[in-house]
Structure 1
């Protein structure tokens, strides 16, 4: 749900780049409609707000670029497609071409979005903004046990069109890949806070899929 606080954050971010209030309002509504779609249960505006809170709590080299990437990184989300990140990046670029943001920074927003496609890939170790953005996107993995199970059930609902006999091995493969990654969280602060609980949560869900499935 689009709250007044979240709307205010959008306008504070974009007003310096685009004075046209009507156009900013229209884009915000378009994003809100996408994130509030009925088939979404985890990839919602709540996820966006959580990420904004995460990244704003740490120093950034280019906070505008990172926050724009947060807003757009799941703008396109179809659980049955593999090009969500690319399509989300295209959406961001289309809007940013209407703004005063420099072309190199527009492309930087798009690159951050594209890199969320696979969090297990090696990343540039000196790119602190990218690493924080990726860590924030994965932060749910290190949530409390109750919050993690809520997340796992929300993801299952987003894949409700996938039958259990296909979802179970597919989800298990994703969990095993994350567990096998030598690094889940790149930034020291978030690694110290989230790595151990994330691995416990991932292992617990993997175990659950090997037995009776997710707890109610």
Structure 2
């Protein structure tokens, strides 16, 4: 973990939990989860990228959004369907130790749960939620080389799944994303990322239809 990321955690959580040792213990627990050897994309770099992505935007409750970022992939098992629910539970368990109001704790958990399916309709007026979801998907609109690196990283997270099974599952995910009428809701991110994201998704879908990812 970088010193900057460690500092950012303490700056965020110190007003909510004055006990430094408890904050540091939770940070260690989170870092251990994000730095697990099985993680190639859903790691601390992903978390840091999201914090950087939202930093330039106004937010109604930046504390809630940043807490959701820190905990949103706290639990990540590639073959599990309840990562988001378990990550939300982790966040709630920790936040109960803080002075954050109960409604804001639940708001953190709700943001995390909503990352389970980015193609679902979202409340159009909930700017913080939409920014959080857009940041989480922003890798889709990355430059081509970065996108292919991401595709390979995700494949490595599913390394126990043979191509025979991974290929149709990944194609289904890609097709579902492409069919979504809206990928990015925040106007600036939609303008910057929607078109390149759709090109990247289509390119990966074509690659899997032709047999697999290009060499890393």
TM-score class, shorter-chain normalisation, is over 0.9
Counterpart of 1:176 in structure 2 is 175
Deviation at 1:212, TM superposition (A): 2.9
Deviation at 1:56, TM superposition (A): 1.1
CA distance, structure 1, for counterparts of residue 55 and residue 16 of structure 2: 19
Counterpart of 1:62 in structure 2 is 61
Q: Superposed, which structure 2 residues align to 1:17-96 within 5 Å?
A: 17-96=16-95
Q: Superposed, which structure 2 residues align to 1:1-216 within 5 Å?
A: 2-216=1-215
SS at match of 1:193: helix
CA distance, structure 2, for counterparts of residue 29 and residue 3 of structure 1: 12
Structure 1 runs (4+) deviating above 2 angstroms are none
Which runs of 5 or more structure 1 residues have no equivalent in the other structure? none
What's the TM-score once normalised by structure 1's chain length? 0.99
Give CA-to-partner distance per residue, 1:63-101, whole Å, 9 cap, x none: 000000000000000001000000000000000000000
CA distance, structure 1, for counterparts of residue 51 and residue 114 of structure 2: 17
CA distance, structure 2, for counterparts of residue 53 and residue 127 of structure 1: 20
Give CA-to-partner distance per residue, 1:169-210, whole Å, 9 cap, x none: 000000000000000000100000000000000000000000
Give CA-to-partner distance per residue, 1:86-141, whole Å, 9 cap, x none: 00000000000000000000000000000000000000000000000000000000
CA distance, structure 1, for counterparts of residue 10 and residue 184 of structure 2: 30
Deviation at 1:12, TM superposition (A): 0.3
Report how many aligned residue pairs link the two structures: 215
What's the TM-score once normalised by structure 2's chain length? 0.99
CA distance, structure 2, for counterparts of residue 55 and residue 104 of structure 1: 22
CA distance, structure 1, for counterparts of residue 42 and residue 200 of structure 2: 19
Deviation at 1:38, TM superposition (A): 0.2
